[in-house]
């Protein structure tokens, strides 16, 4: 179609009015004609976005605001190291029989535990005062009994070697790529925020006497984050979708031993936080929109936790 004659019913290149095109810039979503298409990591970008991206690279700015990570692997390595140290300490102090398991894992309510036998508890004893009357036992508080830190410590607690191995392998594959896209601070917000939302969903939907541990909620949050970023840039999501589907099937088939509540909560938390980060409008107020979205998710999570603790 010759230049200067509008295309009937079709979008026109924003730089060359009259040229029909169905190609859009992956960053600004404006229609661009073949003369304006510039190869990008995924799809094509317009000349203006290529220029802006070059400026961000030179100034050390990440694609969605904030500072770019000099080494996107570093944060994931530190997180893996923290999880590994906690697992080694638990293993060295008895594994599943270690007293640290009940001190660090997520328990909605407290448990009356026999001295020297942390793997078992008295299910009929529901308060510290009653537990004090049971010989050779002690009370281990849950979230509702004044131990809110369990919502966080449980994210770094593993007992079985296969559990920590699977979670840390997933973190190594998912973490650096996400940090490279959104920067270190925002990556930590997504990882830790997903884990916290997962813990609160466990608090809401699990049996009050349950015990939950592991970084799976954060890992599902990273899966959701990659899904959101991938859709934003128009990436091929077939392999990611298959990976998510496999994890969902595993969660359903082994729901008696796997916390589907934590997986669901982590996925929801990761999706909401990442949507707020990558879909914030470009410009000087982008950071304000991003942190406002993070604050809304945090407040909703806090309110849900407080209401549930009150009910327990």
* CA 85 – CA 275 distance, rounded (Å): 32
Residues 266 and 197 sit within 8 Å (Cβ to Cβ) = yes
* HEC letters along 10-32: CCECCCCCCCECCCECCCCCCEC
Whether 216 sits among the annotated catalytic residues: the reply is yes
* CA 71 – CA 184 distance, rounded (Å): 9
Measuring CA to CA, which residue among 181, 274, 267, 180 is closest to residue 217? 267
Buried-exposed string 210-245: b where 16+ CB fall within 10 A, e elsewhere: bbbbbbbbbbbbbbbbbbbbbebbebeeeeeeebbe
Tokens 């004044």, located at residue: 146
Measuring CA to CA, which residue among 300, 304, 127 is closest to residue 202? 304
* CA 159 – CA 213 distance, rounded (Å): 8
Catalytic residue among 216, 218, 226, 259: 216
Annotated catalytic sites, by residue? 216, 263
């Amino acid at each position: 179609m010759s230049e200067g004659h509008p295309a009937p019913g079709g979008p026109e290149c924003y730089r060359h009015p009259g040229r029909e095109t169905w190609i859009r810039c992956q960053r600004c979503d404006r229609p661009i004609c073949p003369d304006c298409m510039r190869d990008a990591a995924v799809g094509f970008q317009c000349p203006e976005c290529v220029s802006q991206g070059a400026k961000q690279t030179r100034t050390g700015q990440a694609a969605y605001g904030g500072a770019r990570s000099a080494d996107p692997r570093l944060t994931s390595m530190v997180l893996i190291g923290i999880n590994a140290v906690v697992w080694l300490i638990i293993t060295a102090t008895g594994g599943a029989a270690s007293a640290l398991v009940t001190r660090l894992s997520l328990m909605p309510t407290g448990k009356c535990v026999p001295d020297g036998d942390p793997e078992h508890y008295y299910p009929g004893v529901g308060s510290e005062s009653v537990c004090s009357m049971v010989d050779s036992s002690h009370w281990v508080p849950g979230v509702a009994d004044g131990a809110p830190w369990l919502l966080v410590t449980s994210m770094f607690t593993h007992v079985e070697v296969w559990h920590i191995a699977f979670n840390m392998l997933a973190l190594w594959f998912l973490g650096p790529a996400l940090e490279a896209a959104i920067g270190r601070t925002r990556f930590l917000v997504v990882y830790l925020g997903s884990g916290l939302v997962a813990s609160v969903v466990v608090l809401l939907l699990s049996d009050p006497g349950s015990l939950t541990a592991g970084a799976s909620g954060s890992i599902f949050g990273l899966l959701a984050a990659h899904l959101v970023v991938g859709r934003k840039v128009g990436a091929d999501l077939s392999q990611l979708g298959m990976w998510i589907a496999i994890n969902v099937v595993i969660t359903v088939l082994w729901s008696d031993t796997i916390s589907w509540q934590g997986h669901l909560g982590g996925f929801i938390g990761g999706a909401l936080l990442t949507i707020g980060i990558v879909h914030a409008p470009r410009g000087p107020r982008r950071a304000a929109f991003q942190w406002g979205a993070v604050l809304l998710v945090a407040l909703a999570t806090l309110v849900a936790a407080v209401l549930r603790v009150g009910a327990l």
